[in-house]
Homo-oligomer: A and B are copies of this chain.
Amino acid sequence: MARPQTDLEAGREQLLDIATAMIEERGNGALTMTELAALAGMSPANLYRYFESKEAVIEAIAGRWFAPKVAIMEEVVASDLPPRRKMYEFYARRFALIRGMWERDPVVFQTYCDVGEEHFEVVRSYVDLGDHYLGEIVAEAMADGHFAGLEIDEAISLINQMVAPYVNIGLMGLIMPKLSEEKLARIVDAVFDGLSAVDRGARAVTGLRAA
């Protein structure tokens, strides 16, 4: 976490520690501005100097949750790995981080899933950021001849769907024991060697011709 640089920032960080503990100990819905102020030993009016709304507190908690994931994405995309290795690391490193949290406390993990589901408008900007970085990897892969005939946005959508269990934390929590880095690597290899716009028979649309 970045070192707070002003009293205002230091106060915000302390309040976020308290708010995070409220949610982790008592679940999604436990957070109210009145009780947060009371636990922090300040008046509600004073609390609003730090956060203008409960939504602003949630946004800041989301920022803390996503910061290490964003750092991973930036580091992987900026690396000089080939695109296939980049895509694997792009997912595998975040998956390992999230799995570690699930292993430490599945109940707290589920609470974060619930918070994210209730406040999906906050999560969405991070989803969009992930798509942006994935798009950079896809563009590099396309330059190497992969994903023939697909638009970048089509490829992003298809890849998101094919690796969904390694990204969607709700689904991840349901099937964690079935997920592994080894399986993720096989899926990423299948993405690189199998995904294109060419109909090779699954739907058999192009195969329906008059003899």
Contact = CB atoms under 8 A, between A and B. Distances in A.
Interface of A: 82, 84-85, 87-88, 92, 157-158, 160-162, 164-166, 168, 170-171, 174-175, 178-179, 181-205
A13 B180 CA distance: 44
Given A161-B165, A164-B165, A168-B171, A197 B186 contact: yes
A128 to B, nearest CB: 13
Contact of A195 (B181, B186, B204): B186
A191 B190 contact: yes
Contact of A88 (B165, B175, B181, B202): B202
Contacts of A87: 202
Contacts of A192: 194, 200-202
A204 B85 contact: yes
Q: Which of A88, A174, A189, A196 has the most CB of B within 10 A?
A: A189
Nearest to A160: B178
